[in-house]
Structure 1
Amino acid sequence: MNINWKVKAGIAAVLVAACAFGGWKYYQGQQQAKQAAAVETTEVIRMDMKSTVSATGTIRPVHSVEVSSKVTARIKNVLVKENDTVTAGQTIATLDGKDYEAKRDQAQIKVTNTKAKYERTSYLYSIGAKTQADLEDAQMNYETAVSALSEAQSDMNEMTITAPMSGVVVGEPKTPGTMAVQGTNSPTVIMRIADLSSKQIQAKVDETDIGSVKVGQTATFTVDSFTGRTFTARVTNISQTDTGNSWDTSSSSSSSSSTSSSSVIYYYVTLDVDDPGNELLPAMTARVEINTAEKAGALAVPISTLKTDANGSYVIVKNPDGTQENRYVETGIYSDEYVEILAGLSEGEQVVSTYTAKAATMTTSSKKSRGGPPPM
């Protein structure tokens, strides 16, 4: 009887253990199924990719000039108006030259007088009635008068304002009666002339993107005036200094240097614009997308699936049996939503795009290891 009881007890223990193991396996399967259902994946695919740099700039003519006067005088006549087409050398305005005419007449009279004195002194010197010094003084006075007359005549010539280049009058010219002041710092601008057949964009590019921009790259841009239309351009110049010359601390105070160091750094990038219809106007705001890289048939995954840690970039790959692994990858170009994969993945593999539940499980189950990927 005792033997039978022990056998029965052993059998019962085996049955209980088997049921417990079966229940555990069932529970584990259910948990894995729940995790698998909670995980979303995306397939590694091939696609045509384009990497761009965004910038904002202003449209401006390639060639333009501000027309000012070389002398200070009141504007007498303006012979052109806004949007008129002018050619180089064309008379576009005249100044009131009464004061300069009087100076020229006075200079002419002085030339006549000093010339007569010089000739008389020269004769007297020839007969010994005047010294060499007298002759030299008379000659100097005459030459000075001639120089003054030449300057006065030059000022008179400035009463006629001509177009320094061919183009279009941009903006409203100054009205007759306005005093045109000469100067090198802030002269009066009588009018502006621009060659609108060729235009540029001066765009500001962030320092984090400027390394990707190269001369010759193509670009597209939009302006608010033409909704839904896209124009094209090409990078022709990249400034070698930032827009504020913040690197040059020799002429900056310590406070201004501190301010510039904490601000965003931008570089000017110039792009030649394709505008055969001459539709774009100066000062329009252009929203530019510079094409920095293109690749056809690139292996790619969404940027949202890419993670990073101290060892580099990786994605979470879901294997055919439902298990997951961290797979380190080598990346290439980036588009707005996708990143190129150069090594580490194969076309058709599944990468996890949402993994919150799994990350929480891995963190809870093992405190010694770092578990799941770090938060983004």
Structure 2
Amino acid sequence: MPTSNDDISDKIGLNQKSSRSWLWIGVAALAIGAGGYFFLANGDAAGGSLTYSTEAVVRTDLDVAVSAVGSIEPTDLFDISSELSGTVSEVLVDYNDVVTKGSVLARLDATKLEAQLAVQQASVDNAAAKVELAEATLEEARENYEIGQQLIKRGVESETAFIAQEAAYRRAGADLKSAQASLHLAEANLKLVQVDLEKACICSPVDGVVLDRDIDPGQIVAASFSAPTLFTVAEDLTRMELRVDVDEADIGMVRVGQSASFTVDAYDARSFPAEIFQVRYASETVDGVVTYKAILSVENADMSLRPGMTASADITVASVDDALVVPNAALRYTPSSEKEEITAGGGGSGLVGMIMPSRADGEDAVQNVGKAVYILRNGAPVRVPVQVGESDGSVTEVISDNLSEGDLVVTDEFDG
């Protein structure tokens, strides 16, 4: 039987020698690659070690606030105008004057109205006299009619005469009704002029303070199309309201009854308390930014706050007592070694991590899920998984059985 070249090579050992050669070549390549990776990964460490910035875990009361900007306004503000057109004869109040309900603020020239009042009063008197005359005429016609009834029964008076007496009696009754109607009309016209005359006196509808005055003696008030605002009166400046614009991203956390504090430019070092009593559903859009109006009640017993002041408010939307908190930088920190492993594309470390995938289950997979902080132990950061809670923007509440008050969490690292 003929022998092949492969059989001959196997017998003399040529194929085994070739396989061992390729194996040694592969091992050498792996060694060279490992050395290069080690050099690249630890080249910086050869020149110096890493230094870590840390902060202690603390327990404190945590308040979460939403910031908003708005203005101070009176709770009840009244714009007082005139329903009549006319010339202002006198102005009796000025800015900041305290007024009571019914106080005269200004008067319009009422000369024409007073003349009209006199005319209407005369009309009423005339109509009343006509009523009296009609009543007398009716009484006379009634007596004549009753006498005629007696005479017609006795046959003393003619039928024609009795018919005339009956007609006169009915006309007298109708005349009385007409006179009474004329009297009612004259009285109504008199009432209209009296009302206009009362409106010539511009009075305060409430107890309050005059905030604005836009009227002077001699000025002509034209109320034909729209009533002009002559005075602005605030009912009670000891109770004010703060109207703030809350961003649409924060409005879901804002509720009626939440407390707040605010500052104004006039008193930089002073913080004023407030409480939300209304959150409006209607939105307001300015330059593409959507906000919602929240109204806060403000006590102003010392009259420090004035209408129109700009205020910056912090609304407390959540509070946690005795919370375990860490700085937000600790939650953002990731060791550079882990960043290199992620960049290399694996879940392990070194060259093996580059060529072998990490396990998708087990403890390693759990450790890489969710939030975590790093505690400095023996000079190296150790990962501690945590559950995060409320945050005020600088610190965050964390919950973990492996984290205690006083532990040092890493916030940053740099070459030392």
Q: Give the alignment's TM-score, normalised by structure 2.
A: 0.66
Equivalent residue for 2:299? 274
Partner of 1:248: none
**Partner of 2:395 in structure 1?**
338
Matched, 1:353 2:393: no
Residues 305-364 of structure 1 deviation map (CA, whole Å, 9 limit, x = unaligned): 4369xx98513535736776776543222113111113476125555534899xxxxxxx
- Structure 1 residue 187 corresponds to structure 2 residue 245: no
Equivalenced residues, count: 321
Taking the aligned partners of 1:201 and 1:345, their CA distance within structure 2 comes to: 45
Amino acid at match of 1:314: K
Q: Which residue in the other structure is 2:371 paired with?
A: 314
For residues 274 and 97 of structure 1, the distance between their equivalents in structure 2, rounded to whole angstroms, comes to 42
Larger-Rg structure? 2
Query: Of residues 273, 280, 290 in structure 2, which corresponds to 1:232?
Result: 273
User: Structure 1 residues 55, 272: closer, same or farther in 2, change over 3 A?
Assistant: same
1:50 corresponding residue in structure 2: 63
Contact 1:100 1:156 in 2 (8 A): yes
1:137 is the counterpart of 2:178: yes
Q: 1:322–1:74: structure 2 CA closer, same or farther, 3 Å change rule?
A: same
| Structure 2 partner of 1:113 | 126
Contact kept? 1:81, 1:173, Cα under 8 Å: no
Counterpart-to-counterpart distance in 1, 2:389 and 2:43: 37
SS of equivalent to 2:72: strand
The residue matched to 1:71 in structure 2 has which SS? Answer: coil
> What is the CA deviation profile of residues 287-321 of structure 1, one whole-angstrom value per residue up to 9, with x for unaligned ones?
1111222334311222234369xx98513535736
Which residue does 1:371 correspond to in 2?
A: none
Partner residue in 2 for 1:7: none
Distance 1:241 1:105, change over 3 A: same
**Residues 31, 301 of structure 1: alpha-carbon distance in 2 compared, 3 angstrom cutoff:** farther
User: Residues of 1 paired with 2:213 and 2:127: CA distance?
Assistant: 47
| 1:209 equivalent in structure 2 | 250
Q: Mark the CA change 1:238 to 1:157 in structure 2 (over 3 Å): closer, same or farther.
A: same
Name which of 48, 73, 86 aligns with 1:73. 86
* CA distance in structure 1 between the partners assigned to 2:90 and 2:127 by the alignment: 37
- 2:263 aligned to which of 192, 200, 222: 222
Evaluate the alpha carbon distance shift between residue 26 and residue 71 of structure 1 in structure 2; reply closer, same or farther with a 3 A threshold.
closer
CA RMSD of superposed structures (Å): 3.8
SS at match of 2:305: coil
* Equivalent residue letter for 2:94: K
Per the alignment, in what secondary structure is the counterpart of residue 283 of structure 1? coil
Separation in 2, partners of 1:78, 1:312: 76
Deviation at 1:229, TM superposition (A): 2.8
Q: 1:75 to 1:225 in 2, by over 3 A?
A: same
TM-score norm. by structure 1 comes to 0.72
Out of 314, 323, 332, which is 1:298 matched to? 323
Give, as a single letter, the amino acid of the residue that structure 2 aligns with 1:315: A
| 8 Å Cα contact 1:96/1:159 also seen in 2 | yes
The answer on whether the counterparts of 1:75 and 1:180 sit within 8 Å (CA) in structure 2 is yes
Match of 1:365 in 2: none
Deviation by residue 1:210-247 (Cα, 9 ceiling, x = unmatched): 22223332222221222333222222222233246xxx
Report if aligned partners of 1:330, 1:344 keep a CA contact under 8 Å in 2.
Answer: no
Deviation at 1:152, TM superposition (A): 0.9
Alignment pair present for 1:91 and 2:104: yes
Q: Which amino acid aligns with 2:283?
A: D
Deviation at 1:101, TM superposition (A): 1.2
Kept in 2, the 8 Å contact 1:84–1:169? The answer is yes
SS in 1 for 2:75: strand
- Paired letter, 1:177: G
Amino acid at match of 1:271: L
State the one-letter code of the partner of 2:322: G
> Given that residues 51 and 291 in structure 1 are in contact (C-alpha distance below 8 angstroms), is that contact kept between their aligned partners in structure 2?
yes
Paired residue for 1:157?
Answer: 198
Whether 2:211 is the aligned partner of 1:170: answer yes
